[in-house]
Amino acid sequence: MNRQIISLTLSGIITLFTIGGSVISLQRGYDKGFYMIYESSNREKVFSRDVEIEIEKGFDLIDIAQELYDQKIIASKTLFVSQGIIYGYESKIKKGTYTISSNMSNVEIFKVLTSALN
C-alpha cells in the first residue's frame, strides 16, 4: 500500500513539473521571438495603412480583436486575445478613438490602446 501511495505521489509530482516546465518554456520561447512567426503575417510588406478604431465602454478583448481582424490589421484573433490576457493589457484598455497602423505588432497595438493619449 505504501509503495502505491509513493508511486502515485511521485507520478503526480513529475506530471506537475512537466506541465510547469512546458508552460515556462512556451512563455520564454514566445518572449524571445517565437511570436514573430505569427505576427509577421500581421504586417504588410509594401505599405502600411492606418485604420481608425473606436473603443466604446463595455468593449472587451474579443470585441476589439474582431474589429481589428475585420479591418485586416491582425492575422489572428486568438493570438491577440491571448497576448492581451498574458501581458495584462485587457484591464488597461481605455475607451476612445485610436489610429492603428497595419504594420504594428500586437504589442504595439496594445500600447496604443492603453495610452492615455487618444
pLDDT value at position 16?
79
Gap between the Cα atoms of 17 and 14, Å rounded: 5
* pLDDT tier, 64 (very low <50, low <70, confident <90, very high otherwise): very high
Question: What span, in angstroms and rounded, lies between the C-alpha atoms of 48 and 45?
Answer: 8
For the segment 95-106, the average pLDDT, to the nearest whole number, is 90
* pLDDT of 96 strictly over 50: yes
Number of domains in the chain: 1
Whether 42 has a pLDDT exceeding 50, the answer reads no
Q: How far is CA 79 from CA 30, 61, 75, 88, in A?
A: 11, 11, 8, 14
Q: Is the pLDDT of residue 65 over 90?
A: yes
For residue 113, the model assigns a pLDDT of: 93
Is the model's pLDDT at 81 over the cut of 80? Answer: yes
Position with higher pLDDT, 38 vs 82: 82
Cβ within 8 Å of residue 5, ≥6 positions away:
none
Direct distance between the N- and C-terminal alpha carbons of the chain, in angstroms, rounded to an integer: 66
Range of the domain at 53: 1-118
Asked if residue 114 lies in contact with residue 93, where contact means CB atoms within 8 angstroms, the answer is yes
- The pTM score is 0.61
pLDDT at 31: 56
Task: Retrieve residue 114's grid coordinates.
Answer: 492603453
Which letter does DSSP use for residue 50 in this model?
E
Q: In CATH, what number is assigned to the domain containing residue 59? A: 3.30.1490.480
Exposed, middle or buried, 55 (CB in 10 Å: 0-12/13-18/19+)?
middle
